Amino acid sequence: MTIELVNLNESHLDGAFVLTQKLQWPHRRVDWQQMLMLGSGLVALENGAPVGTTLCWRWGHDYATLGLVIVDESCQGRGIGRLLLQATLGSLGDRRVRLHATPAGRPLYEKLGFIASGHVLQHESSALGAVAAIPCSSRQQLRHATPEDAALLAALDHQALGQERTPLIDQLLSSAQRVLILEEDGRAGGFAGLRRFGHGYAIGPVVAAGRGQARLLIARLLSGLEGQFVRVDSNGTAGLDRWLSELGMMQVDAPITMYKGQPWRPQAGGMQTFGLMSQAMA
């Protein structure tokens, strides 16, 4: 049968959702919908039915991320994944592209010019135990973010990632359960969001000046979620692995971070990323 690549739209989301269900990925249909609102995608159709997908997000003129690269198991080995990726990458021009790969997907990404540059540690708890909030010091205070903080959060996020993600920040502020800003001596020391995702809740992005600030933000968002499913995707270099495990959030996966183009390196002393929005969007 002939495979047709078309732009992914709302009418394809039911079929795309089925593909993630077959893989036992946690994405809800609404998760697909929210991610598509921020980016664009391709769907591979056979007899009108989705058998493969890709999504990408353009963050300014220089960067993009790529995710939800899926080919139905019954159609694998026919080059559909390569077709989807080549078409998607062609649409991104000269942007640096980041993705998170499974070990099975890594060889194809390497053939297309991606280079491994680290990994992500996926931590989760199906029924979180009680987590105590870390108290602020006399120099610190936490407050809830409002839509008026969008420019501030976008600037902090840009400093950590080098990407222009204002639309993502706007969506986070409008849809998250909570977004907290940490202030130190009256200046922003980081922010983090708690939102519905998959089986329960996800914490991310987490952007902070240091590990201590990131832990303070995460602990405050975890407090009050006792008994809930909670997930945190943290950079492998963030240094949160042992602490998250001690809280009962065990590591369940470690996808490979890969770049096509020069990897982003945040400036020393500036904001850094300690938790991802999602593995797909980073």
Q: Could you tell me if 227 and 153 lie in one domain?
A: yes
Whether the predicted pLDDT of 40 surpasses 80: yes
The CATH number of the domain where 13 resides is what? 3.40.630.30
Q: Could you tell me if 82 and 161 lie in one domain?
A: no
Q: Could you tell me if 130 and 248 lie in one domain?
A: yes
Mean pLDDT of all residues in 136-165 = 97
**Whole-angstrom Cα distance, residue 14 to residue 109?**
27
Q: Could you tell me if 169 and 268 lie in one domain?
A: yes
pLDDT band at residue 267 using 50, 70 and 90 as cut-offs: confident
pLDDT in the model for residue 173: 98
Mean pLDDT of all residues in 172-185 = 97
Kindly report, residue by residue over 56-106, the tens digit of the pLDDT: 999 999 999 999 999 999 999 999 999 999 999 999 999 999 999 999 999
Structural domain includes residue 151: yes
CA distances from 231 to 39, 121, 158, 204, 277 (A): 23, 10, 23, 9, 11
Q: What is the DSSP letter of 89?
A: H
pLDDT in the model for residue 213: 98
Q: Could you tell me if 90 and 154 lie in one domain?
A: no
Whether the predicted pLDDT of 28 surpasses 70: yes
Total count of domains within the chain: 2
Give me the domain span that covers residue 56. 3-94
**Whole-angstrom Cα distance, residue 50 to residue 165?**
29
Q: Could you tell me if 83 and 14 lie in one domain?
A: yes
Structural domain includes residue 102: no
CA distances from 206 to 43, 113, 193, 269 (A): 31, 29, 7, 16
Q: Could you tell me if 77 and 147 lie in one domain?
A: no
Using DSSP, state whether 2 is helix, strand or coil: coil
Return the residue matching tokens 């020069």.
262
Structural domain includes residue 100: no
Whether the predicted pLDDT of 1 surpasses 80: no
Whether the predicted pLDDT of 268 surpasses 90: no
**Whole-angstrom Cα distance, residue 121 to residue 233?**
6
Structural domain includes residue 118: no
Contact 175, 130 (CB under 8 A): no
Instruction: State the burial class of residue 111 (Cβ atoms within 10 Å of its Cβ: 0-12, 13-18, 19+).
Output: exposed
Instruction: State the burial class of residue 253 (Cβ atoms within 10 Å of its Cβ: 0-12, 13-18, 19+).
Output: middle
Kindly report, residue by residue over 226-251, the tens digit of the pLDDT: 999 999 999 999 999 999 999 999 99
| Structure token pair of residue 92 | 């991104």
pTM metric for this prediction: 0.95
pLDDT band at residue 264 using 50, 70 and 90 as cut-offs: confident
Question: Residue type for 51, please?
Answer: V
Q: What is the DSSP letter of 163?
A: -
Beta-sheet pairing, 140-144 with 250-253: unpaired
